Amino acid sequence: MAAESRRTGQPLDTRDLEARLLADDAEETTQVVGTWTYVGTGWRDNLEQALALAVAARSREYDLWKAERRKARSGLERGDGHAGAGHQGGADVIERRVLDSGRVRWRVRYRTPEHRQRSRTFDRRADAEAFEDELRGRMRRGEFVDPRRGLVTLTALWSEYEQGGMTHLRVTTQQNYRMAFRHVLNHFGTWPVAKIEHADVAEWVTSLGKTKGPETVRYAHRVFCLVLDFGMRTRRLSHNVARGVRLPARPPSRERILTMAQVEALAARLGREGDLVLAMALLGLRWSELAALRVSDVDLERGRVRVVERATEVGGRMDVSAPKSRTSARSIGIPPSMREVLEARTAGRSADALVFPAPDGGYLRNGNWRHRSGWSAALKSTGLEGVTPHDLRRTFGSLARKAGADLRYIQRAMGHESITTTARIYAHLYDDELDEIAAALDGLRGAQP
């Protein structure tokens, strides 16, 4: 009894054959042994018979594998949609592996769209076939993600997002994202992104909510979702596990809307600095828009103020850029009571001069102005403790409504990108109309047809 090569006819030593059969690498053993066969009759001993039977079994597996590959290739040539199509990658074969312990496992071998060989092993053939079917579907739909690309840590993915995912954002937005994402990195920074599960994110939200407010949690989660979305676009993740996590409810909005009498009292208490109070309360300017307002933006003849720039303090320096959104670039009507204030601020000055400059002529910084103007003392003396400059902007919406403005006008004047935002903030200003409409409807009952 002897073993010889199918290709060369050279004899194979039985001990060499035995060593190959017992090798750790089952794939190599299958392929090598599959090229040999026994010839002749009779067995010299039981070991030789066992080896012959093993070779025959391996040879049959190898032949079946080759036949399956030929069938797959012919299917591709016919264009019948088999997985593994051309350069798109796909499943090659499901292999049966027998471990030294006698345990049987099933390995799916496949190629990525980049032609890299990958494999995954299962305990049951049914699981291997289900994975192969799922893999083929993802390949066809272009949704396949190489599992090894998801082994990078979340910190590494965040660095990629900083460099390629948020460079188009405003500097202030980038800074806000960095501050918010610290809460995420403190927990998940060293985790491979593919290992983060939906339940892990839900647990993190609950844990963070014990020490931070709802808005902080919601904003951090929002940035988390954006980073994982970027991971999907760069083919590191197949789906976003942060989506659909239940978040803490938003707290009721804090309403500090001043009356016209309170606005005038606060402006008078601040002296010349009270001009800024009137500008925010009667023009609806954001602080950043007020700080960047130039003489050329004030058209006293037409009674308009144009908002075309903003100046925001970020990390100790001023960031000057276009308004925060397309609708933020707008024109605002100047009330007659503001005309005198703006005339005094613009008369005899160059067109590019700031209307509300800092003492050194540069951009006005919020914190410095509050300290210099005596803002806290003025609030205390007028009974308005806790009011912020942004509350003056919201006051504009309330005063405009009392003056007869509808919701659409308030949206345009304040530069809200969506009227939904305006309605959410100022819906309560329309409560009086409910009584008016109710009375009018009741009046229709007595009307003649």
* Distance separating alpha carbons of residues 204 and 346, to the nearest angstrom: 53
Please report which confidence band the pLDDT of residue 54 belongs to, taking 50, 70 and 90 as the band edges.
Answer: low
- Span 305-325, mean pLDDT? 87
> For every residue of 266-287, which 3-state class applies, written as one string?
HHHHCHHHHHHHHHHHHHCCCH
The closest alpha carbon to 109, from 129, 93, 131, belongs to 93
DSSP state of 82: -
Least confident of 31-35, 160-164, 180-184, 304-308: 31-35
Q: Is 431 exposed, middle or buried (0-12, 13-18, 19+ CB in 10 A)?
A: exposed
Q: Domain map of the chain by residue range? A: 1-82, 151-233, 260-434
Average pLDDT over residues 128-144: 78
Other Cβ atoms less than 10 A from the Cβ of 170: the count is: 18
Which pTM value belongs to this model? 0.59
Query: Is 60 exceeded by the pLDDT of residue 4?
Result: no
Model pLDDT, residue 383:
94
Q: Which two tokens stand for residue 244?
A: 């659909």
Q: Taking residues 177-183, report their average pLDDT.
A: 96
Q: Does the structure show a pLDDT above 80 at 446?
A: no
- Is residue 252 helix, strand or coil? coil
151-233 to CATH, choices 1.10.150, 1.10.3470, 3.30.530, 1.10.287: 1.10.150
Q: If you average pLDDT over residues 38-58, what whole number do you get?
A: 60
pLDDT of residue 26: 41
Contact between 364 and 372 (Cβ < 8 Å): no
User: What does 6-32 look like in DSSP terms, one character per residue?
Assistant: TTT--EE-HHHHHHHHT-S-HHHHHHH
pLDDT of residue 374 exceeding 60, the answer is yes
Lowest-confidence segment of 66-70, 80-84, 121-125 by average pLDDT: 80-84
User: Which tokens sit at 88?
Assistant: 């798109």
CATH number of 260-434: 2.60.120.200, 3.30.420.40, 3.40.50.720, 1.10.443.10? Answer: 1.10.443.10
Q: Determine the Cα angle at 255 with ends 252 and 259, to 5°.
A: 160
